[in-house]
């Protein structure tokens, strides 16, 4: 796990030098993000202003294998992921990336996040357009080119379909706020979002 000092420095770096989103944004945009258990990823992005929908699911494998039991075997090629739909006039792709890299997960962990280990918990972005792919590639290159993340970002850019997870996984954090896993690993992310990016936070 990355030390708090490194995460704090990363946050400061991004706050000081945010990367602008592509010009002429569409009325609505969607991107798929993987960064560990989808419960916390979903719960975090549901608190971002301008995000209109967050769906938990599986990305990077095939539809035939997109079930929790199969993905959990680590043999299907999927990653637990979220599909984030947002209004670019209210929150930019650059800001979505800031939340993703600073708050939502640890981009230096490979094939795992915090207590969860395996390729299904990897750090990966699944761009939905060529413009998104170019933007995310440049963003990751920028992070990897300077401290504190210099050469340490494990986030991959991948392609593949997105398959919604089972109903009981959707809005899991909101529906189960006292769950032990949620309290230990996910509630701190939402608190960090509120402190780090107060202008982007919503209850």
Burial class of residue 138 (count of CB atoms within 10 Å of its CB; 0-12, 13-18, 19+): exposed
Please, what are the domains in the chain?
4-196 (3.30.1060.10)
Helices and strands in the chain, H and E counts: 8, 8
Which residues lie below 8 Å from residue 112, measured CB to CB, with a gap of 6+?
Answer: 36, 118, 121, 122
Burial class of residue 187 (count of CB atoms within 10 Å of its CB; 0-12, 13-18, 19+): middle
In the predicted structure, residue 7 carries a pLDDT above the cut 70: no
pLDDT per position as a tens digit, 11-27? 444 543 445 455 555 78
In the predicted structure, residue 190 carries a pLDDT above the cut 70: yes
* Rounded-to-integer distance, Cα 81 and Cα 119, Å: 12
Give pTM, 2 decimals: 0.88
> In sequence order, what E strands does 67-192 have?
79-86, 112-113, 116-117, 123-126, 156-157, 162-164
pLDDT confidence tier of residue 2, bands split at 50, 70 and 90: very low
pLDDT confidence tier of residue 138, bands split at 50, 70 and 90: very high
Check residue 54 and give its pLDDT: 98
pLDDT mean across residues, the chain: 91
What average pLDDT does range 170-186 have in this prediction?
Answer: 97
Is 37 annotated in the active site?
yes
Check residue 25 and give its pLDDT: 57
**Half-sphere exposure of residue 113, counting CA atoms within 13 Å on the CB side?**
27
Catalytic residue among 37, 79, 173, 182: 37
Check residue 27 and give its pLDDT: 86
């Amino acid at each position: 796990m990355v030390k708090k000092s490194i995460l704090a420095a990363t946050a400061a770096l991004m706050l000081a030098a945010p990367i602008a989103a592509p010009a002429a944004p569409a009325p609505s945009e969607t991107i798929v993000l993987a960064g560990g258990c989808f419960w916390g990823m979903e719960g975090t992005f549901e608190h971002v202003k301008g995000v209109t929908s967050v769906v938990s699911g599986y990305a990077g494998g095939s539809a035939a294998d997109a079930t929790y039991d199969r993905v959990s075997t680590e043999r299907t090629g999927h990653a637990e992921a979220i599909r984030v739909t947002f209004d670019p006039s209210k929150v930019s792709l650059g800001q979505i990336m800031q939340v993703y890299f600073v708050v939502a997960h640890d981009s230096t962990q490979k094939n795992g996040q915090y207590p969860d280990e395996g390729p299904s918990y990897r750090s990966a972005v699944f761009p939905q357009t060529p413009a998104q792919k170019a933007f995310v590639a440049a963003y990751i290159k920028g992070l990897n080119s300077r401290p504190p993340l210099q050469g340490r970002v494990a986030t991959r850019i991948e392609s593949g379909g997105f398959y919604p997870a089972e109903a009981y996984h959707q809005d899991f954090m909101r529906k189960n706020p006292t769950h032990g896993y949620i309290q230990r690993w996910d509630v701190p992310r939402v608190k960090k979002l509120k402190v780090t990016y107060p202008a982007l936070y919503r209850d």
